[in-house]
Amino acid sequence: MRHARARLALPILAFLVLPLGGCKLPYQIISKLVAPKATPTPTPIPAQPIAAEFSSIEDERVAGDSQVPRATLTVTLPGTKQAEVAAMRVVTKKVVDDLGTSLVPENAAEAQFESVSPGESYPDQEPLPVSVSVPLKTASRKAKVLKEVEADVELYTPALDPAALVSVPKVLGEAGKPLVSPVLQAAGVEITLLSKEQIEAERKAWGEKKREESKKTGLEGEMLDRIVGIAVESFLSSSWIDVWLKVKDPKGALFDIVFLDAEGQVQGVNRTTEAGFVGLDPHGGEVGADWGLQVRLKTPKTFKRYTFALKDIALP
């Protein structure tokens, strides 16, 4: 592990992303979309130069056959508030050491938005600034200095726009019907928390769909019934999913969905998707009767782009 501390300020640029992808199992028998994978696309939001403070370097060398060496710069952005940020995307643009070696990671431009913890704050304490992790390749042991570092950061700040957040209290009580919200309606987003009866109905409908598809391939009799049975049993059946949602988002306005626990604290989720249905599993335990759901939307006011640069950062 390598650590260094320094303070520097200077100028950078960024991109935006839009989520979701998936895959199908062979023969079209059981279709499942796995964890969403966002694809960055250009955004018209201008990048603003921002002062940055470089804090430290973490340098992880290979410790096993399955591990990949990597390094990370920790950078803070004075004047920003981490409590306002729900997610961020960091793109490493340029990293060059004193040997002239580029340390920009492969596929750096494909960086995805990642959730951000609000961090702990106290009444008499200044708000914590945004802390940014800038990924890079590990430097040679012969290198002494990072001559140049440039990175782009895009922040998703839904708390700054009332039209970006829709909170539904005691969401389990809304099972079986679409969530009612003029904000969701204006964004073209429709979300229904499925009841047990609706899940069973969707599984049966899925089985019939697979039956018709399989018949066209010539399957019949016992083999056909077996294929349909497998399709029904495996659809919307993950044991670790607490809630299934039916989501319609034709305009791509949806950014994220999280839970709110009984104290109103945000609980992140593990997520899976299957044929247009979204399954959520909260990090903070099972969904209780007094838990809510928070829908986060994309609006122009919810994204901020910054650019920064650092020079002559000493390596340990």
Q: Write the pLDDT tens digit of every residue in 112-125.
A: 999 887 666 666 77
> Can you tell me the distance from the alpha carbon of 240 to that of 283, in angstroms, rounded to the nearest whole number?
11
292 DSSP β-pair partners: 260
167 and 80, same domain (yes or no): no
- Reported as a single tens digit per residue, the pLDDT across 241-261 is 999 999 999 999 999 999 999
Report the number of distinct structural domains present in the chain.
2
Owning domain of residue 51: 39-160+301-314
Range of weakest confidence among 98-102, 149-153, 271-275: 271-275
Terminal-residue alpha carbon distance, the chain: 10
305 and 156, same domain (yes or no): yes
154 and 170, same domain (yes or no): no
Q: What is the pTM of this model?
A: 0.75
Q: Give 186's DSSP letter.
A: H
- Reported as a single tens digit per residue, the pLDDT across 191-214 is 999 999 999 999 999 999 999 999
Asked whether residue 239 is assigned to any structural domain, the reply reads yes
295 and 173, same domain (yes or no): yes
pLDDT band at 66; cut points 50, 70, 90: low
62 and 171, same domain (yes or no): no
Res 136: pLDDT? 94
Instruction: List the beta strands (DSSP E) in 130-216.
Output: 130-136, 145-156, 165-168, 190-193
156 and 242, same domain (yes or no): no
Please check the confidence at residue 31 and state whether its pLDDT lies above 80. no
191 and 257, same domain (yes or no): yes
